[in-house]
Structure 1
């Protein structure tokens, strides 16, 4: 299906409203008033009316506007158990704030929901907006009938370009260093994947952008990617089409947008190469520069202002942000107002200034003639940096179809090249942050009722409710540091990121103890301790539980061998061996086949027997053998007294020769595997031969010994 854009300018009159269903808010005393936070310190928005790190959503500053719906009972704080259920207007986030932290105004919350408007519903149908988008769009249309909503049907970049799902978008965006959050944000917003820069052994994160940013979690990515979370008048401007509209984007609106920044009411010199008709007496205001930028790049100047403020900041205590100070050593009189080229690194500002001075050459030779012409490089004046940067943004992003703040951050158009990668910034919150600043600028300029066009992504297969905002500042580290068994040993050797293990124990072992430790002190462990073993396969799962409740499961398959019906007997008195052969209990060893030491005649002649005793050799099948006949594991030596009565029996063990044919080959590998995986058992001698390295456990190490013998000719130690 092709991505389509169908713009419908909908200037319709809203019908009389009805009241919203009160069941949408928690039970309590109705308040329904506008308020603001009053604490000089930050106030915590929580998922429940209780104070702990697990309920923390975010903290907000004094003066933050809230809608208060109900008053409920919760944890006592400062002598009161009264809490409000509220919405943070600027962020469209719901939660609980203690009543003492909110000052109510006399203004009521607008709880009305417009009646269905047939013409508007038809327009939504034509655009293909899912039902889960529509309640918010109806409310926006009722208040701002001149606004237009265009459905951008996002497609995947996999074969056939199917419609994009939210889960696939998260998967595609979840790559190391691509999506970042400040290190100071809640732990629920930070990645805990070791492959994405989390070091679980030290509880640290890989740092980006000079150490203040870390990888984002999948949960915050899902929240930011789900457009339905941002369909309020304060948050929708991340979907605003960013073309320059002269009737809307006036000099006065730009001046208002600059308020509170280092650029407010400030003039700078006009450079010799600055192509402007604005300014006077050799100077020009920043507001005038942004108007020049809009006219020359066809990009919304208010968007440019807020992109600048997002990227370089507002300046503090009269100090200019470094990227626009023009005083950096080696980059004097060089400026970068949008941090273009300042990709994640140890010093992103310098990377941005390198681009501002040299363009893409990076070798000090300076920008190419094409770059100079297109982007006004090098950016040796404030005017060139703001106007040239606007041209760069317009050419590289807006003309490419990334014509909203959202699409510049999340390029989810699979029909375009560089989908999911050609993205302006790493900050996952940037679109919503810029959106609110644009909204405030329009509100203060009195131009919210202008005919804005919003290009809203539509994803397929969405759940009925928007992706939730991650809650809590609790550790998510649930990696185990060790797992140990009181009997047997793990195969493979334990590693925190390996989750399946095997172990084999003798048939005489009917129980064992599993112990485990964690990397993080707040992580707990379930299902360790004493375990009863049945013959054959026993499966145990050890669960590491993070402080926030997330679980990581490790599985151990323990095989208990069958009990032997042929226990070895101690060697009879007076019987021994020479020529390097070993008699241990009832086993004869050190008969390595490659040296010919497994020949029946040589073994028999090496036995030391009491006077009158005789010895006879039998192969594994029970046939009497002698001379140069080779023997394998399980062959037996019968010792008899002079009167023919039994004096003792020895079984030959050749470590690695599990099947008893006297040859080390692939058949022996299969015997070891059957013992490890299926718990198979053979004669006691064969069971002993399975343990090629003689560490008391049959595991992958024994396989490696046999393979080394087969492939490299490396002898398996027998003595």
Structure 2
């Protein structure tokens, strides 16, 4: 016999002796006693005991229940005088975490009390904790020592403190169990829950179900599905009442479900699974269900008997459920032994929901499913306060998740059935006696005095309806009762309403609606109610409708319209309300909707329309904002001036005066004619402006030979003046030899202006006999690659003339000039694009064609002098007249000599000079030119100027695409007067308007070739006038925006990367219809680099290479543009056109070979080309001379103006 058994024997003997002499009492300390007395039990040896318990708690979690007190105060330290941390009710579960003693050696367990919001750690005296953990009991048996017990008188019969804690209605049954099993401990669990509230919740919906096949009719309240029925309140009360389960079999539904090695052996578990599908091996394994369940229980501290009973309850004894077959279609290899998450009203729905949960939790084999389900039970129920079979069905532990909803099963009989299975297992294995089982039994507030009786099966009550929908307020309905299918006519029934504020019911079952809501009407026998079932009817009360006859329609006062007045501002009588308060009432209306409801909690609102009279509002002029800055063109109608919304002219057809100025006209205003009176007589100021000038007659005088002329005309509308200035024409002299020179005396040549008759004379040197000019050529200035040179021809008679030597041009070999230091810039993949300008050849002077590329490269072609075409002593191309010699030679010179030697001036004889010397106005005289003659020559080329607004037109230097023709060095005056040298370029200022149209091009004269548009001082367009095909329909916006363009940054990065770039956008959209060269300024850091022009293609979202041009040293880049769009200019040292290096080399070699081939061809065909070229040029010269003569005759008849109106004015002035 071990120490524990001897201890029990001694205790029983002492109790037996004491029963006959004095009443027996217990040794537990009173929970409220505030004295620290010497302990009757203590730890020995203390340090060893504490250390060993710590080792045990490190291996497993041990739980205990608070008992023997209604509520226990957890202390901060192991001392009854220590600070209280919290007070917990009797029956609550705590986890033991250590042990200690107070100053009197009383034993205190360190505990942890967990709940939803956290955890409390403190100390509870050993005597107020009940536990059944076998290893903790073994530890106490070894280390807890006893002194003599203190006995206190209590009662004359044996008393148990744990039983005495329960209400009187519990004690008889518990004393009976205690007498059979003294080692059992009963712990009162104070739930704090009202009994009636708990019953009403457990009766809701499908929370509590019963197996219909075995249930009495009085237990069933309708079918849930084909197998399960809803529970009647009577059977819910029966199974919910713990007092009905205080029997030796049923009490195990209150057993703590932890693992105890003594009673939870494999043999015990085998007894629990005998005669079920779990009695043998687990399919496809070599292990039995009993062994696996026992191992699982030991590992996670859960009773294997619970697991076996729960599986038997869920799967039945045969185990043929699809949830554990592993073969359910679509869910093969999945198992759910505990039916966790399996819900639904059909077998299929239950199987699918349960196996879906198994898939979610990874239960893919049987052992994993057994272990996983057990862990699910432990984690979600046992460790959260639901650590008995009863608590897993009826959730009355409030520490976690609230109460009465977190229940494991719906089967109301499951706790009793599983408890019986546990009892049978313990009985078969002899584990009922001498085992320290702990039972946690709930107690509720306001419980019935006696345990609830199980409903009988004698009578079944039903109602005429179980649901009454849409009962209006103040209306009634009658419930008819039936007993066992027959209408009740004699048995008194008791009707009650769950909410009398919603519906009332009398003893006859007449229900009256009180207010909207839902109430439950309960019906049972008035006498002996437990002899029959209780039935219910759900009543939904709704609002009642209002009759129009009961409504008195109110009359509303008239209001004045205001946009700020809404229906909300208009008061209504009690019970009325506007349907939409935000509506602004208007003058024209058909009434507005209102609702009427004297009590919205009981009645539905009635909608009706109320009439409302609204008067138009008046507008004050001070309340409106008058329009300002009204402008109109002189002579138009007043209605051409657009007014802001609400304003109208009172006399819109009024014609505005043809005189600029400010005038007042009257208007009316009304933004909303329907709701406002019209405000009239509003005076508005209108500024009359001039858009098209109406000029009067020209006044002033024309220029004469010496004085400038000035013509002025004024606009009759705005007074703006247009001024035309004419430069002094200069004298037009005709010469005549008034005294012929001889070999002995000088002659006199008299010059007379044919316009004003001003005269001057020149001496004609003496003639030498048979003198012919013989000129000596001298290089006065050498020509260079880029600079012109000069030749001087001097005769022994001191007659001389000069000729210009054209610039030589670079002699490029391998990219470098052989004459100067010029080196061609590296332009990878660059193809020259040349433009040409022509200096026309004359009879005596060679012409030249100059070809220039945008990169700076240029070359020239010479046009040989035509030579005089002499007929009857005069040249047919120029005004040259051959002077016959004083002593004519035997054979006169042939015209071919003049053609072949244009540089030799013919020398007339002394005797014939006075008679045949050409007009000096047509030929530059030798020697120094007199001042008057120089003035004459300068004046002869002065252009006519016109000042119109801000646009000025003058003769301008050519742009970078077309070089001007150099001034002729020929002595023949006919070339000086040539129209080809006048107004080659017309320049227009575009700063006020960037639109290029026919009006602007009206200033262009027939001999103008180039149009230069000045957008700014630095940004210009140069346009070949001949490329403009349809001037009448021309309307192009030439605006250029530098620094902005609609090109995404990511697209720019694809070509620019780390290079500098500039954005550019042309305002016009699409093709120009003519060729234009744009010149723009470039930042200083890019001078000398290549400007690569890219076009942004919005369709493909890429940049397309257009051209690469070199930035000039003075910072400009010029591009030939065909259409307008968005562009990116990227500056680099090389061209960015995407071609390979090999292609560039090949192109370079090809170009070099082509140049050499052309050079060779040119040398071999020089002679033939010259002959053909001379013939073409002779023909062209004839045409030019003819045009010049026509223009000369025309200029003699009338002065030249820029438009038709000027020509007419000029005629009027003449």
TM-score normalized by structure 2? 0.29
TM-score normalized by structure 1? 0.47
Q: Which has the higher strand share?
A: 2
